[in-house]
Amino acid sequence: MSALLYVLVLLLSAYGLSVQAEGCEPAVDMLESNDAVNRMSECDYSDKGLNGWFKARTENTPEPMHTSQTAVLPPVVDPPVLAAKFELISVGVKSALDLVQARFTLVAQAAEHCDGVAVLSEEAYRQGHQGHTQLIMSFYCR
């Protein structure tokens, strides 16, 4: 019973951290669809729910220092940028107007996600479900 309580507490605490990209149904629903294997790459769940919680823990945890090391090495990447980098994926868009709307939605979500400002680091496109184009935008918080 204590194990079940542990899982429930974990789920409820992670739920509060969820940031759902518009149009992506929860993974458990997507997997119930007939063409689930073709849709697994359609939505990025890495920043959502428990995944976001795990990711945040991983990225905010400093690298362990080995006691035998005597020299402190400089970081390879600017830590604040690495810690806040995240990716948002739009639903499939069918027209130029949809694309403008999708970009606005993702930018608004990114701005809401960051405490400071959201900086666009990469923008990409791919063919998604049923041939519709998906917009992929990577941001980091500054």
Enumerate binding residues for other proteins (CB under 8 A).
1-4, 6-8, 10-12, 14-15, 18, 20, 25-29, 31-41, 44-46, 49-51, 54-55, 57-58, 127, 129-131
Which residue number, 34 or 70, has a Cβ lying nearer to other proteins?
34
Closest separation in Å from C-beta 86 to other proteins: 12
Tell me how far, at minimum, the Cβ of 50 lies from other proteins, in Å: 5
Least Cβ distance, residue 103 to other proteins (angstroms): 22
User: What is the torsional sign of CA 25, 30, 34, 35?
Assistant: positive
Paired strand residues for 59: none
Question: What does the angle CA 130 – CA 132 – CA 47 come to, to the nearest 5 degrees?
Answer: 100
Distances (CA, A) of 85 to 32, 68, 95, 118: 30, 31, 28, 9
Q: Would you say 33 or 95 has its CB closer to other proteins?
A: 33
